[in-house]
Chain A
């Protein structure tokens, strides 16, 4: 069975690396992107089992990226976790409406993130 792959989009290099560490320690592979546009351009090629998107991305933000994933036939079924520092209910609601499966608030718990990843990756495709 091939290793599951997680796409991560975050413009903060350190956070991107932190995600990489958390994900690889959990036994998964990563495909890391510094912005929404490149993540979207290559998502179909990467074919991830899960996407972790920062909300506050340059250009296309996490909400727009979620909407774009859900509108793409190749990407629409990929579970999406959005990480955001915004506490407003409206943000969370708009993300849910757009199809985000889970919203994790910053500062996020690496343990809880790993638990969420496992939860989604354990689901039958």
Chain B
């Protein structure tokens, strides 16, 4: 197009666009080193430590998926436990069919994406608060359906088969590595997704849906994609939870508590930042460990922290951190006209 050429030629001369700053590259190296140390832990520490860390990795993965959905896609769901549950049950069912449970984790993710597609037709008819409540209802419906299936253990749940042949220490280490890989994959996945053209469209949709459509964005498709990715991520997390607990119980795996955790973590960590779920999960995990002996006071304190964070820190803890992002997804324009 002539106008486009006319305009671009004028601008291209003295402008360049930067994506990643030097400090961001440094932080990537630090993160990679941290991941390497974490990967070596099963050789260095007792399995009680690594077993606890599995919990942290699952929380990071779940919170990242919720942040992607709500913080970048603008889809505030209270029903992602639907996919945690479906993922967990898929793993159990696949193991029953003879699939190696560790290899069944990605298949559980895929199964969730398949379930998420028709579910989205229903959920996307609702907006805002109604979407939130609707997703919760959908999760409950999935729980009620699962409970009706006798081969899945009904209301009492089912234990995971196919791992009895593996030594307990090795099993713990394998589960740990898979949980670590899941946490890293969700963070890297969010980063790569958001850094691309699709990520920019998503953020535009989140900020202004009508204007996004006028910008040429297929709003429905963008939302659907982020919904499917989030479902798959939560499904994989559900699979890892089951690998770790070796059984699945419908009431706990489909519990709305998972959504409460995800929201809490993302809100205190910083919604709309890739770093948010990471920081939030670390804090939540620390609180869990520190306050575990305080019984119901643990929940009270957690509630207080959540309320204070929501009131005082609308952008979460990461919102307080000045300086460049660890995961730069934006564009920085540098102009070199005038005396440099």
A binds B: no
